[in-house]
A and B are shown apart, each in its own frame.
Chain A
Amino acid sequence: MPSKHASTWHTATAVVSGVRHRRNQAACQDVLRTAVVDRKWLLVALADGAGSAPLGGLGADLATRSALGALATHCADRQARTQPVDTETAIRKGFAEARGVLEREAAGRAVTLRDLATTLLVCLATPDWIVAGQVGDGAVVLGEGEGAWRTLTRPASGEYLNETVFVTSEDALDRMQVAPHEGAVRELALFSDGLQMLALKLADAAPHEPFFRPLFSWLSRTTDPFTTGRELESLLRSPRVADRTDDDLSLCLARWTG
Protein backbone atom coordinates (compact mmCIF):
# COMPACT_ATOMS: atom_id res chain seq x y z
CA MET A 1 0.00 0.00 0.00
CA PRO A 2 1.65 3.25 -1.09
CA SER A 3 1.78 5.98 1.53
CA LYS A 4 -0.85 8.71 1.23
CA HIS A 5 1.93 11.09 0.44
CA ALA A 6 2.85 9.26 -2.75
CA SER A 7 -0.69 9.10 -4.13
CA THR A 8 -1.00 10.54 -7.61
CA TRP A 9 -2.18 9.80 -11.12
CA HIS A 10 -0.33 7.10 -13.02
CA THR A 11 -0.96 7.46 -16.77
CA ALA A 12 -0.13 5.56 -19.95
CA THR A 13 -0.74 7.09 -23.36
CA ALA A 14 -0.23 6.05 -26.97
CA VAL A 15 -1.12 7.55 -30.34
CA VAL A 16 -0.54 5.62 -33.56
CA SER A 17 -1.51 6.36 -37.15
CA GLY A 18 -4.04 4.04 -38.73
CA VAL A 19 -3.44 1.56 -41.52
CA ARG A 20 -5.45 3.70 -43.92
CA HIS A 21 -3.39 6.81 -43.14
CA ARG A 22 -0.12 4.90 -43.44
CA ARG A 23 -1.23 3.53 -46.80
CA ASN A 24 -2.02 7.05 -48.04
CA GLN A 25 1.12 8.43 -46.37
CA ALA A 26 -1.08 10.87 -44.49
CA ALA A 27 0.07 12.19 -41.13
CA CYS A 28 -1.59 10.96 -37.97
CA GLN A 29 -4.28 13.43 -37.00
CA ASP A 30 -4.87 12.37 -33.40
CA VAL A 31 -3.34 14.54 -30.67
CA LEU A 32 -3.30 13.68 -26.96
CA ARG A 33 -2.09 15.92 -24.12
CA THR A 34 -2.07 15.22 -20.39
CA ALA A 35 -0.93 17.10 -17.29
CA VAL A 36 -0.99 16.45 -13.56
CA VAL A 37 -1.24 19.49 -11.27
CA ASP A 38 -0.29 19.20 -7.57
CA ARG A 39 -0.44 15.38 -7.79
CA LYS A 40 -4.20 15.34 -7.41
CA TRP A 41 -5.53 17.02 -10.54
CA LEU A 42 -5.44 15.15 -13.82
CA LEU A 43 -6.03 17.09 -17.04
CA VAL A 44 -6.49 15.35 -20.38
CA ALA A 45 -7.28 16.70 -23.85
CA LEU A 46 -7.65 14.40 -26.86
CA ALA A 47 -8.56 15.42 -30.41
CA ASP A 48 -9.06 13.54 -33.66
CA GLY A 49 -8.56 15.78 -36.69
CA ALA A 50 -11.05 14.98 -39.46
CA GLY A 51 -9.57 12.91 -42.27
CA SER A 52 -11.71 14.89 -44.70
CA ALA A 53 -10.27 18.23 -43.52
CA PRO A 54 -6.97 19.37 -45.11
CA LEU A 55 -5.77 20.89 -41.80
CA GLY A 56 -7.49 18.45 -39.41
CA GLY A 57 -4.21 17.57 -37.69
CA LEU A 58 -3.45 21.23 -37.04
CA GLY A 59 -7.00 21.70 -35.75
CA ALA A 60 -6.49 18.81 -33.31
CA ASP A 61 -3.16 20.25 -32.16
CA LEU A 62 -4.57 23.74 -31.56
CA ALA A 63 -7.77 22.48 -29.93
CA THR A 64 -5.98 20.27 -27.40
CA ARG A 65 -3.43 22.98 -26.57
CA SER A 66 -6.14 25.56 -26.03
CA ALA A 67 -8.36 23.22 -23.99
CA LEU A 68 -5.55 21.98 -21.76
CA GLY A 69 -4.44 25.59 -21.23
CA ALA A 70 -7.95 26.57 -20.18
CA LEU A 71 -8.09 23.67 -17.68
CA ALA A 72 -4.65 24.52 -16.29
CA THR A 73 -5.72 28.12 -15.76
CA HIS A 74 -8.82 26.86 -13.98
CA CYS A 75 -6.70 24.59 -11.77
CA ALA A 76 -4.43 27.47 -10.83
CA ASP A 77 -7.43 29.07 -9.11
CA ARG A 78 -7.43 27.07 -5.88
CA GLN A 79 -10.87 28.32 -4.87
CA ALA A 80 -12.64 27.50 -8.11
CA ARG A 81 -11.07 24.12 -8.80
CA THR A 82 -12.49 22.42 -5.72
CA GLN A 83 -16.04 22.63 -7.08
CA PRO A 84 -17.21 20.26 -9.81
CA VAL A 85 -19.85 22.78 -10.82
CA ASP A 86 -17.19 25.45 -11.43
CA THR A 87 -15.17 22.92 -13.40
CA GLU A 88 -18.20 22.23 -15.56
CA THR A 89 -18.35 25.93 -16.39
CA ALA A 90 -14.60 25.95 -17.04
CA ILE A 91 -14.91 23.02 -19.46
CA ARG A 92 -17.72 24.71 -21.38
CA LYS A 93 -15.59 27.84 -21.56
CA GLY A 94 -12.62 25.72 -22.67
CA PHE A 95 -14.58 24.40 -25.66
CA ALA A 96 -15.71 27.89 -26.63
CA GLU A 97 -12.10 29.09 -26.39
CA ALA A 98 -10.81 26.18 -28.47
CA ARG A 99 -13.37 27.01 -31.12
CA GLY A 100 -12.30 30.65 -30.98
CA VAL A 101 -8.67 29.65 -31.53
CA LEU A 102 -9.69 27.60 -34.60
CA GLU A 103 -11.77 30.49 -35.94
CA ARG A 104 -8.81 32.88 -35.65
CA GLU A 105 -6.44 30.34 -37.22
CA ALA A 106 -8.82 29.84 -40.15
CA ALA A 107 -9.17 33.61 -40.62
CA GLY A 108 -5.38 34.09 -40.42
CA ARG A 109 -4.79 31.43 -43.05
CA ALA A 110 -7.74 32.53 -45.18
CA VAL A 111 -9.22 29.03 -45.14
CA THR A 112 -12.66 27.87 -44.04
CA LEU A 113 -13.23 26.81 -40.44
CA ARG A 114 -14.19 23.36 -41.76
CA ASP A 115 -10.62 22.87 -43.02
CA LEU A 116 -9.54 22.61 -39.36
CA ALA A 117 -12.31 20.16 -38.38
CA THR A 118 -11.51 18.08 -35.31
CA THR A 119 -13.25 16.32 -32.45
CA LEU A 120 -12.30 17.22 -28.87
CA LEU A 121 -12.50 15.27 -25.60
CA VAL A 122 -11.35 16.73 -22.30
CA CYS A 123 -11.54 15.83 -18.65
CA LEU A 124 -10.47 17.17 -15.31
CA ALA A 125 -10.30 14.42 -12.72
CA THR A 126 -9.68 14.32 -8.99
CA PRO A 127 -9.89 11.12 -6.90
CA ASP A 128 -13.30 12.28 -5.66
CA TRP A 129 -15.01 13.67 -8.73
CA ILE A 130 -14.53 14.21 -12.45
CA VAL A 131 -15.98 16.34 -15.21
CA ALA A 132 -15.65 15.14 -18.81
CA GLY A 133 -16.57 17.06 -21.95
CA GLN A 134 -16.79 15.90 -25.55
CA VAL A 135 -17.67 17.06 -29.07
CA GLY A 136 -17.75 14.32 -31.70
CA ASP A 137 -16.67 10.69 -31.61
CA GLY A 138 -14.62 8.78 -29.04
CA ALA A 139 -15.48 8.28 -25.38
CA VAL A 140 -14.49 8.88 -21.76
CA VAL A 141 -14.82 5.78 -19.55
CA LEU A 142 -14.67 5.83 -15.75
CA GLY A 143 -13.89 3.10 -13.21
CA GLU A 144 -14.87 3.65 -9.60
CA GLY A 145 -12.52 0.95 -8.40
CA GLU A 146 -14.95 -1.93 -8.13
CA GLY A 147 -14.00 -3.70 -11.34
CA ALA A 148 -16.84 -2.09 -13.24
CA TRP A 149 -16.75 0.74 -15.72
CA ARG A 150 -19.20 3.29 -17.03
CA THR A 151 -19.25 5.62 -20.00
CA LEU A 152 -19.22 9.31 -19.09
CA THR A 153 -19.30 10.78 -22.58
CA ARG A 154 -20.02 8.70 -25.66
CA PRO A 155 -19.59 8.71 -29.45
CA ALA A 156 -21.79 11.42 -30.95
CA SER A 157 -22.12 10.12 -34.47
CA GLY A 158 -25.59 11.53 -34.89
CA GLU A 159 -27.97 9.25 -36.72
CA TYR A 160 -25.44 8.13 -39.30
CA LEU A 161 -22.17 6.42 -38.58
CA ASN A 162 -20.22 8.53 -41.06
CA GLU A 163 -21.69 11.88 -40.15
CA THR A 164 -20.22 13.18 -36.91
CA VAL A 165 -19.95 16.58 -35.25
CA PHE A 166 -16.72 18.57 -34.99
CA VAL A 167 -15.61 21.50 -32.83
CA THR A 168 -15.83 23.50 -36.03
CA SER A 169 -19.45 22.44 -36.79
CA GLU A 170 -22.10 25.13 -36.51
CA ASP A 171 -23.97 23.31 -33.75
CA ALA A 172 -20.82 22.10 -31.93
CA LEU A 173 -21.44 23.88 -28.64
CA ASP A 174 -25.12 22.84 -28.58
CA ARG A 175 -24.20 19.20 -29.17
CA MET A 176 -21.34 19.20 -26.66
CA GLN A 177 -21.63 16.60 -23.90
CA VAL A 178 -20.55 17.66 -20.41
CA ALA A 179 -20.68 14.88 -17.83
CA PRO A 180 -19.94 15.62 -14.17
CA HIS A 181 -19.59 12.70 -11.75
CA GLU A 182 -19.25 12.94 -7.99
CA GLY A 183 -17.82 9.83 -6.35
CA ALA A 184 -14.66 7.77 -6.42
CA VAL A 185 -12.50 8.14 -9.55
CA ARG A 186 -9.93 5.33 -9.67
CA GLU A 187 -9.53 4.45 -13.35
CA LEU A 188 -10.03 6.49 -16.45
CA ALA A 189 -9.81 5.88 -20.19
CA LEU A 190 -10.14 8.35 -23.05
CA PHE A 191 -9.97 7.21 -26.67
CA SER A 192 -10.71 8.45 -30.19
CA ASP A 193 -13.17 6.87 -32.63
CA GLY A 194 -10.66 4.33 -33.94
CA LEU A 195 -11.04 2.28 -30.76
CA GLN A 196 -14.70 2.77 -30.01
CA MET A 197 -15.88 -0.27 -32.00
CA LEU A 198 -13.49 -2.44 -29.95
CA ALA A 199 -13.95 -0.90 -26.51
CA LEU A 200 -17.68 -0.17 -26.39
CA LYS A 201 -20.88 -2.09 -26.99
CA LEU A 202 -22.14 0.47 -29.45
CA ALA A 203 -25.86 -0.20 -28.93
CA ASP A 204 -25.78 1.59 -25.56
CA ALA A 205 -22.12 2.77 -25.56
CA ALA A 206 -21.45 0.61 -22.47
CA PRO A 207 -17.80 -0.26 -21.80
CA HIS A 208 -16.83 -3.80 -22.87
CA GLU A 209 -15.42 -5.15 -19.62
CA PRO A 210 -13.06 -7.77 -21.14
CA PHE A 211 -11.41 -4.87 -22.95
CA PHE A 212 -10.84 -2.64 -19.91
CA ARG A 213 -10.17 -5.20 -17.18
CA PRO A 214 -6.82 -6.51 -18.60
CA LEU A 215 -5.75 -2.97 -19.50
CA PHE A 216 -6.18 -1.59 -16.00
CA SER A 217 -4.81 -4.75 -14.45
CA TRP A 218 -1.70 -4.26 -16.60
CA LEU A 219 -1.54 -0.56 -15.72
CA SER A 220 -1.60 -1.36 -11.99
CA ARG A 221 1.53 -3.51 -12.42
CA THR A 222 3.53 -0.98 -14.41
CA THR A 223 5.52 1.96 -13.11
CA ASP A 224 7.92 3.26 -15.73
CA PRO A 225 6.10 5.73 -18.01
CA PHE A 226 8.47 5.05 -20.93
CA THR A 227 7.91 1.32 -21.09
CA THR A 228 4.16 1.61 -20.41
CA GLY A 229 3.83 4.01 -23.33
CA ARG A 230 5.78 1.66 -25.61
CA GLU A 231 3.77 -1.38 -24.56
CA LEU A 232 0.50 0.43 -25.09
CA GLU A 233 1.71 1.58 -28.50
CA SER A 234 2.62 -1.96 -29.54
CA LEU A 235 -0.86 -3.07 -28.48
CA LEU A 236 -2.42 -0.45 -30.77
CA ARG A 237 -0.13 -1.53 -33.62
CA SER A 238 -0.78 -5.26 -33.13
CA PRO A 239 -2.36 -7.20 -36.03
CA ARG A 240 -5.35 -8.08 -33.85
CA VAL A 241 -6.22 -4.41 -33.59
CA ALA A 242 -5.25 -3.52 -37.18
CA ASP A 243 -7.59 -6.24 -38.51
CA ARG A 244 -10.51 -4.52 -36.86
CA THR A 245 -9.91 -0.85 -37.53
CA ASP A 246 -7.94 1.15 -40.09
CA ASP A 247 -8.29 4.50 -38.33
CA ASP A 248 -5.82 6.54 -36.27
CA LEU A 249 -5.85 5.27 -32.69
CA SER A 250 -5.24 7.09 -29.45
CA LEU A 251 -5.70 5.91 -25.92
CA CYS A 252 -5.07 7.53 -22.56
CA LEU A 253 -5.29 5.36 -19.45
CA ALA A 254 -5.03 6.79 -15.95
CA ARG A 255 -5.12 5.22 -12.51
CA TRP A 256 -5.24 6.86 -9.08
CA THR A 257 -2.52 5.18 -7.03
CA GLY A 258 -4.02 6.06 -3.61
Chain B
Amino acid sequence: MAENIPLEDAIEFAENPEPRCPCVLVLDTSASMSGEPIEALNQGLTMFREQLLKDPMASRRVEIAVIAFDNEIRIEQDFVTPERFEPPKLTAQGQTFMGGAIQKALDLIQARKQQYRTNGVAYYRPWAFLITDGAPQGEPESVVQSASQRLKNDEAAKRVAFFAVGVEGADMETLSSLVVRTPVKLKGLNFAEMFVWLSRSMEAVAQSRTDEQVALPPPGWASV
Protein backbone atom coordinates (compact mmCIF):
# COMPACT_ATOMS: atom_id res chain seq x y z
CA MET B 1 0.00 0.00 0.00
CA ALA B 2 1.33 3.43 -0.91
CA GLU B 3 2.25 5.46 2.14
CA ASN B 4 0.51 8.63 1.03
CA ILE B 5 -3.02 7.19 0.94
CA PRO B 6 -4.98 8.63 3.89
CA LEU B 7 -5.88 5.99 6.44
CA GLU B 8 -9.61 6.48 6.00
CA ASP B 9 -9.43 5.84 2.25
CA ALA B 10 -7.29 2.73 2.63
CA ILE B 11 -9.70 0.94 4.94
CA GLU B 12 -12.53 -1.19 3.64
CA PHE B 13 -15.52 -2.10 5.77
CA ALA B 14 -17.14 -5.49 6.18
CA GLU B 15 -20.37 -5.81 4.20
CA ASN B 16 -22.72 -7.31 6.74
CA PRO B 17 -26.37 -7.92 5.83
CA GLU B 18 -28.78 -5.33 7.26
CA PRO B 19 -30.19 -6.56 10.61
CA ARG B 20 -33.90 -7.42 10.50
CA CYS B 21 -36.78 -6.57 12.74
CA PRO B 22 -39.69 -8.96 11.97
CA CYS B 23 -43.32 -8.07 12.68
CA VAL B 24 -46.31 -10.36 12.02
CA LEU B 25 -49.81 -8.93 11.84
CA VAL B 26 -52.46 -11.52 12.78
CA LEU B 27 -55.77 -10.14 11.56
CA ASP B 28 -59.30 -11.27 12.32
CA THR B 29 -61.36 -11.37 9.09
CA SER B 30 -64.41 -13.14 10.52
CA ALA B 31 -67.93 -12.09 9.45
CA SER B 32 -68.37 -9.61 12.32
CA MET B 33 -65.49 -7.52 10.90
CA SER B 34 -67.38 -6.90 7.64
CA GLY B 35 -68.29 -3.41 6.53
CA GLU B 36 -66.65 -0.43 8.19
CA PRO B 37 -64.18 -2.33 10.42
CA ILE B 38 -62.52 -4.26 7.58
CA GLU B 39 -62.37 -1.12 5.44
CA ALA B 40 -60.68 0.80 8.26
CA LEU B 41 -58.27 -2.09 8.81
CA ASN B 42 -57.32 -2.16 5.11
CA GLN B 43 -56.65 1.57 5.16
CA GLY B 44 -54.61 1.11 8.32
CA LEU B 45 -52.34 -1.39 6.57
CA THR B 46 -51.59 1.12 3.81
CA MET B 47 -50.87 3.74 6.47
CA PHE B 48 -48.52 1.30 8.22
CA ARG B 49 -46.48 0.84 5.06
CA GLU B 50 -46.29 4.59 4.38
CA GLN B 51 -45.17 5.35 7.91
CA LEU B 52 -42.41 2.75 7.86
CA LEU B 53 -41.16 4.05 4.51
CA LYS B 54 -40.68 7.51 6.03
CA ASP B 55 -38.02 6.22 8.44
CA PRO B 56 -34.79 5.22 6.66
CA MET B 57 -33.67 2.78 9.37
CA ALA B 58 -37.10 1.16 9.72
CA SER B 59 -37.59 0.86 5.96
CA ARG B 60 -34.33 -1.07 5.71
CA ARG B 61 -34.77 -3.23 8.80
CA VAL B 62 -38.46 -3.93 9.47
CA GLU B 63 -40.03 -6.97 7.82
CA ILE B 64 -43.80 -7.34 7.72
CA ALA B 65 -45.88 -10.50 7.39
CA VAL B 66 -49.68 -10.69 7.40
CA ILE B 67 -51.86 -13.61 8.49
CA ALA B 68 -55.64 -13.35 8.08
CA PHE B 69 -57.96 -15.72 9.91
CA ASP B 70 -61.64 -16.65 9.72
CA ASN B 71 -62.71 -20.23 8.83
CA GLU B 72 -59.37 -20.41 7.12
CA ILE B 73 -55.93 -19.31 8.16
CA ARG B 74 -54.10 -17.62 5.27
CA ILE B 75 -50.66 -16.14 4.91
CA GLU B 76 -51.65 -12.99 3.00
CA GLN B 77 -48.09 -11.76 2.98
CA ASP B 78 -44.87 -13.54 3.92
CA PHE B 79 -42.04 -11.43 5.39
CA VAL B 80 -41.03 -8.46 3.20
CA THR B 81 -39.49 -5.05 3.81
CA PRO B 82 -41.94 -2.08 3.73
CA GLU B 83 -40.95 -1.19 0.18
CA ARG B 84 -42.07 -4.56 -1.16
CA PHE B 85 -45.10 -4.85 1.12
CA GLU B 86 -48.32 -4.76 -0.88
CA PRO B 87 -51.12 -4.29 1.65
CA PRO B 88 -53.77 -6.97 0.96
CA LYS B 89 -57.44 -6.06 0.40
CA LEU B 90 -58.97 -8.10 3.17
CA THR B 91 -62.61 -9.26 3.10
CA ALA B 92 -64.63 -10.55 6.06
CA GLN B 93 -66.49 -13.85 6.33
CA GLY B 94 -66.95 -16.92 8.52
CA GLN B 95 -65.87 -17.80 12.04
CA THR B 96 -62.82 -16.95 14.18
CA PHE B 97 -60.06 -19.60 14.08
CA MET B 98 -57.83 -17.64 16.42
CA GLY B 99 -55.96 -20.57 17.97
CA GLY B 100 -54.77 -21.84 14.60
CA ALA B 101 -53.82 -18.29 13.58
CA ILE B 102 -51.63 -17.86 16.68
CA GLN B 103 -49.92 -21.18 15.89
CA LYS B 104 -49.37 -20.09 12.29
CA ALA B 105 -47.84 -16.78 13.41
CA LEU B 106 -45.44 -18.56 15.78
CA ASP B 107 -44.54 -21.05 12.99
CA LEU B 108 -43.85 -18.22 10.57
CA ILE B 109 -41.60 -16.47 13.10
CA GLN B 110 -39.70 -19.66 13.87
CA ALA B 111 -39.09 -20.32 10.17
CA ARG B 112 -37.98 -16.75 9.54
CA LYS B 113 -35.44 -16.84 12.38
CA GLN B 114 -34.04 -20.05 10.93
CA GLN B 115 -33.58 -18.28 7.58
CA TYR B 116 -31.87 -15.34 9.29
CA ARG B 117 -29.48 -17.68 11.05
CA THR B 118 -28.71 -19.64 7.89
CA ASN B 119 -27.87 -16.43 6.07
CA GLY B 120 -25.94 -14.79 8.90
CA VAL B 121 -28.49 -12.00 9.35
CA ALA B 122 -28.64 -10.42 12.81
CA TYR B 123 -32.17 -9.78 14.08
CA TYR B 124 -34.29 -8.24 16.79
CA ARG B 125 -36.90 -9.98 18.90
CA PRO B 126 -39.89 -10.61 16.60
CA TRP B 127 -43.16 -8.88 17.28
CA ALA B 128 -46.64 -10.27 16.63
CA PHE B 129 -49.69 -8.07 16.64
CA LEU B 130 -53.12 -9.76 16.90
CA ILE B 131 -56.19 -7.71 16.03
CA THR B 132 -59.67 -9.13 16.70
CA ASP B 133 -63.23 -8.05 17.40
CA GLY B 134 -64.30 -11.34 18.94
CA ALA B 135 -63.02 -14.48 20.63
CA PRO B 136 -61.94 -17.90 19.31
CA GLN B 137 -64.91 -19.52 17.58
CA GLY B 138 -65.44 -22.71 15.60
CA GLU B 139 -62.21 -24.44 16.64
CA PRO B 140 -61.93 -27.33 19.11
CA GLU B 141 -61.11 -25.98 22.59
CA SER B 142 -57.90 -28.06 22.58
CA VAL B 143 -56.56 -26.13 19.55
CA VAL B 144 -57.07 -22.80 21.33
CA GLN B 145 -55.56 -24.10 24.57
CA SER B 146 -52.44 -25.51 22.94
CA ALA B 147 -51.93 -22.26 20.99
CA SER B 148 -52.22 -20.28 24.20
CA GLN B 149 -49.81 -22.61 26.01
CA ARG B 150 -47.25 -22.39 23.20
CA LEU B 151 -47.55 -18.62 23.18
CA LYS B 152 -46.91 -18.50 26.92
CA ASN B 153 -43.82 -20.70 26.52
CA ASP B 154 -42.55 -18.58 23.64
CA GLU B 155 -43.01 -15.37 25.61
CA ALA B 156 -41.23 -16.85 28.63
CA ALA B 157 -38.33 -17.94 26.41
CA LYS B 158 -38.29 -14.46 24.81
CA ARG B 159 -38.95 -15.95 21.38
CA VAL B 160 -41.55 -13.34 20.57
CA ALA B 161 -43.25 -10.22 21.92
CA PHE B 162 -46.94 -10.86 21.26
CA PHE B 163 -49.41 -7.97 21.52
CA ALA B 164 -53.22 -8.22 21.27
CA VAL B 165 -55.63 -5.47 20.32
CA GLY B 166 -59.38 -5.76 20.78
CA VAL B 167 -61.75 -3.92 18.45
CA GLU B 168 -65.25 -2.93 19.71
CA GLY B 169 -67.09 -6.16 20.54
CA ALA B 170 -63.95 -8.14 21.36
CA ASP B 171 -64.10 -10.46 24.36
CA MET B 172 -61.27 -8.78 26.29
CA GLU B 173 -61.45 -11.25 29.15
CA THR B 174 -60.94 -14.28 26.93
CA LEU B 175 -58.23 -12.42 25.03
CA SER B 176 -56.42 -11.69 28.31
CA SER B 177 -56.45 -15.35 29.22
CA LEU B 178 -54.95 -16.37 25.87
CA VAL B 179 -51.99 -13.98 25.68
CA VAL B 180 -49.35 -12.89 28.21
CA ARG B 181 -49.23 -9.11 27.73
CA THR B 182 -52.35 -7.20 28.74
CA PRO B 183 -54.44 -6.65 25.59
CA VAL B 184 -55.43 -3.12 24.70
CA LYS B 185 -58.80 -1.97 23.41
CA LEU B 186 -58.93 0.08 20.24
CA LYS B 187 -60.84 3.37 20.46
CA GLY B 188 -63.54 3.18 17.79
CA LEU B 189 -61.97 2.16 14.48
CA ASN B 190 -58.81 4.15 15.00
CA PHE B 191 -56.60 1.76 13.03
CA ALA B 192 -54.75 4.60 11.34
CA GLU B 193 -53.42 5.97 14.61
CA MET B 194 -52.71 2.48 15.88
CA PHE B 195 -50.53 1.65 12.87
CA VAL B 196 -48.68 4.97 13.15
CA TRP B 197 -47.91 4.01 16.74
CA LEU B 198 -46.84 0.50 15.69
CA SER B 199 -44.55 1.96 13.06
CA ARG B 200 -42.95 4.31 15.60
CA SER B 201 -42.50 1.42 17.98
CA MET B 202 -40.76 -0.65 15.32
CA GLU B 203 -38.50 2.32 14.53
CA ALA B 204 -37.56 2.53 18.21
CA VAL B 205 -36.81 -1.20 18.34
CA ALA B 206 -34.71 -1.05 15.17
CA GLN B 207 -32.41 1.54 16.78
CA SER B 208 -32.17 0.19 20.28
CA ARG B 209 -29.50 -1.70 22.11
CA THR B 210 -30.38 -2.82 25.59
CA ASP B 211 -30.74 -5.91 27.74
CA GLU B 212 -34.50 -5.57 27.87
CA GLN B 213 -37.33 -4.64 25.49
CA VAL B 214 -37.56 -0.90 24.88
CA ALA B 215 -40.36 1.09 26.43
CA LEU B 216 -42.94 2.21 23.89
CA PRO B 217 -44.45 5.64 23.53
CA PRO B 218 -47.89 5.45 25.16
CA PRO B 219 -50.65 4.64 22.68
CA GLY B 220 -53.16 7.40 22.09
CA TRP B 221 -55.40 5.06 20.13
CA ALA B 222 -56.28 2.79 23.03
CA SER B 223 -58.85 3.13 25.76
CA VAL B 224 -58.12 1.73 29.21
- Chain A interface (Cβ < 8 Å from any Cβ of B): 20, 50-52, 117, 137, 157, 159-166, 169, 193, 197-204, 208, 210-211, 213-215, 217-218, 221, 231-232, 234-235, 238, 240-241, 244, 247
Contacts and interface: CB of A to CB of B under 8 A. Distances in A.
B12 A210 contact: yes
Interface of B: 1, 3, 7-8, 10-14, 16, 19, 119-120, 122-125, 158, 205, 207-214
A213 B7 CA distance: 11
B11 A214 contact: yes
Given A162-B214, A163-B211, A200-B16, 9 more contacts: A161-B19, A163-B158, A202-B122, A214-B10, A214-B12, A218-B7, A234-B8, A235-B8, A240-B8
B210 A162 contact: yes
A164 B11 contact: no
Given A197-B16, A202-B122, A221-B3, A162 B10 contact: no
A50 B158 CA distance: 21
Q: Among the interface residues B11, B16, B19, B210, which one has the most CB atoms of the partner chain A within 10 A?
A: B11
B14 A50 contact: no
Secondary structure at the B interface, as helix, strand, loop or mixed, is loop
A247 B19 CA distance: 15
Contacts of A238: 8
B8 A211 contact: no
28 contacts: A50-B211, A51-B210, A117-B211, A159-B125, A160-B125, A161-B209, A162-B124, A162-B125, A162-B205, A162-B214, A163-B211, A164-B209, A164-B211, A197-B14, A199-B14, A200-B14, A201-B14, A202-B122, A204-B120, A208-B13, A210-B11, A211-B14, A214-B1, A214-B11, A214-B12, A240-B8, A240-B13, A244-B13
B51 to A, nearest CB: 20
Given A162-B209, A163-B125, A211 B7 contact: no
A202 B123 CA distance: 12
A13 to B, nearest CB: 15
Nearest to A169: B211
Contacts, number: 100
B120 A203 contact: yes
B13 A211 contact: yes
Contact of B16 (A165, A169, A201): A201
Contacts of B120: 201-204
A231 B5 CA distance: 13
Contacts of A197: 13-14, 16
Contact of A52 (B8, B10, B125, B210): B210
Nearest to B118: A203
A157 B1 contact: no
B7 A193 contact: no
A202 B17 CA distance: 9
A50 B212 CA distance: 12
